[in-house]
Amino acid sequence: MKLDPAIRDQVLATVPSLRAFAISLCGHVDRADDLVQETLLRALAHIDSFEPGTNMPAWLFTILRNLFRSEYRKRRREVEDADGHYAETLKSHPEQTGRVEFSEFRAALAKLPSDQREALILVGASGFSYEEAAAICGCAIGTIKSRVNRARTRLADLLAIDSIDDFGPDRPTRAVLASGGGRS
Amino acid sequence: MTTGKPVNAEPPAPVRDQPEAQNTMDTPVTQHRREVRLGREIQARIGQQLRAMYDEVVKEGVPEHISDLVRRLSEHDDGAA
């Protein structure tokens, strides 16, 4: 059975954003690309369950998010302090993100609880509505709203912003790095 | 601007140079207003950073190994099973 070229093009059109989401979630380009690849394998193997005319990006994001979640749970059993470990990795190898200019912001993002991080990214960067984000995460719209709000408040705290002038691109990363890994 | 506005639709608040005439009487109300304003500016900047970081990846488009994979799988559907 061959895939409808229109469906294939919809899948391909979603890939750039799917990658950005994956990188934001796991912080490593290589791991993110593996995750995207695994998502596409699974999606195309189950393409029959996609209803043409419905939201392809939301469908693919849901698959990727679920894969990431199950992998995260697996890793959590192996590594006690999963979030802290992740933050440590980012600090010791910031180049792994491949994007040095956002290292400070990424480090702060990495310290958010993963449910807050994904909600913020889906709504604030991927451009999904609260409703779509709720469907992707399998939770209520109100839950997404409160996660996004908590994420933004926490980010502002983590970036230690006292005034808008403190939040420029020239600001050294010291504040975030000095604040220590894991929970604070 | 209402507080119920979607978080991703806030414009960069153009209120930075607003004169603060009531500064001599720093009532809790004006102080609160300043904090709200600062909060909005910070949140606008966080939104900008988030989107800039994200869009940098989006601009890279589809990596070749992924477009190859999708094309291959769409020709031979059994390859994905």
**Surface of A (92-131) touching B: CB under 8 A:** 99, 102, 105-106, 109, 120-121, 123-127, 130
Report DSSP state, residue B8.
G
Q: A4 to chain B nearest CA, in Å?
A: 8
Q: Confirm if A10 and B52 have CB atoms less than 8 A apart.
A: no
Residue of B nearest to A40 (CA): B70
> What pLDDT score was predicted for residue A64?
97
pLDDT bin (cut points 50, 70, 90) of residue A163 is: very low
ipTM over 0.85: no
User: Does the pLDDT value for residue B13 go beyond 70?
Assistant: no
A160 touches B: beta carbon within 8 Å: no
Question: Band of the pLDDT at B40, cuts 50, 70, 90?
Answer: confident
pLDDT of residue B2: 44
What are the pLDDT digits (tens) for A135-159?
A: 999 999 999 999 999 999 999 888 8
pLDDT of residue A78: 56
Higher-scoring residue by pLDDT: B31, A83: B31
The residues spanned by each domain of chain B are: 28-80
CATH numeric code, A5-178:
1.20.140.160
Identify the residue with better confidence: A135 or A24.
Answer: A135
CA-nearest residue to B76 within chain A is A2
Side chain identity at residue B58, one-letter code: V
**Does the CB of A24 have a partner CB in chain B at under 8 Å?**
yes
A84-109 burial code (b ≥16 CB/10 A, e <16): bbbbeebbeebeebebeebbbbbbbb
- The C-alpha atoms of residue A171 and residue A102 are separated, in whole angstroms, by 11
The pLDDT tens digits for A109-137 are 889 998 999 999 999 999 999 999 999 99
> Would you kindly state where each structural domain of chain A is located, as residue ranges?
5-178
B37, B68, B70: best to mutate for the A interface, most A CBs within 10 A? B70
Higher pLDDT, A37 or A25: A37
Give the mean pLDDT of chain A. 80
